[in-house]
Amino acid sequence: MVVERRKFIVVMLALLIYTEDNLGRAFQPEFTAPIANITVALGRDATLTCLVEHLGGYRVGWVKADTKAIQAIHDHVITHNPRVYVSHGDHSMWSLQIKGVQLEDAGLYMCQINTDPMKSQTGVLTVHVPPDFLLGETSGDVMVREGGQVSLTCHARGVPQPTVNWRREDGKDIILRQNQSI
């Protein structure tokens, strides 16, 4: 009876080890969807989301890929940026949140799972900056006699880089130096 009981225990342990080993291989963590690229206006909040299934005992990490700066590992924010937060829902949805996005936050972000080899996917955060005139490089009001010449400059900044278009307030053509009109 003791011998049979020992055989039973050995068989059960072997089965348990075999099952755990095969379950670990059969249910390796996988990404269930790509990270969506997002575009936000300067000063708004951004959330990048990484969807994972079968995470088990593995961990999810976030890295800003262009600078290689670690943002977070699992539930813990690593970066010293106080505007960065992490959250997760039932270990399948992992989010990196950036409050009050700044221009330097733009770039490629990587979600990683610490498998061997490591699994990763990336998403891009684009930050839009509204157009604004560069006052020191833009002409102000200018008075010119009719038929006289004037040189006007206009420089603007923003992301994406704004296009400058010229027009007269009265809607008439602008006459250029060599009698060309625009």
Q: What pLDDT does residue 122 have?
A: 98
b/e for 64-89, b at 16 or more Cβ within 10 A? bbeeeeebbbeeebebebeebbbebe
* pLDDT cut 70: percent of the chain above it: 82
Q: What pLDDT does residue 4 have?
A: 52
> Comparing C-alpha atoms, which of 22, 68, 64 is closest to residue 46?
64
Q: What pLDDT does residue 154 have?
A: 87
Mean pLDDT of 124-151: 87
Q: Is 119 helix (H, G, I), strand (E, B) or coil?
A: strand
- The answer to whether residues 100 and 84 touch, using CB atoms and an 8 Å cutoff, is no
Q: What pLDDT does residue 167 have?
A: 87
DSSP conformation class of 170 = T
Please tell me the CATH code under which domain 28-129 is placed: 2.60.40.10
Mean pLDDT of 94-110: 97
Calpha distance 52→181 (Å, rounded): 60
Whole-structure pTM value: 0.71
Is the model's pLDDT at 13 over the cut of 50? Answer: no
Residue-averaged pLDDT of the chain: 84
Choose the weakest-confidence range: 7-21, 111-125, 167-181: 7-21
- The answer to whether residues 91 and 43 touch, using CB atoms and an 8 Å cutoff, is no
| Structure token pair of residue 169 | 């307030």
Is the model's pLDDT at 181 over the cut of 80? Answer: no
Mean pLDDT of 94-115: 97
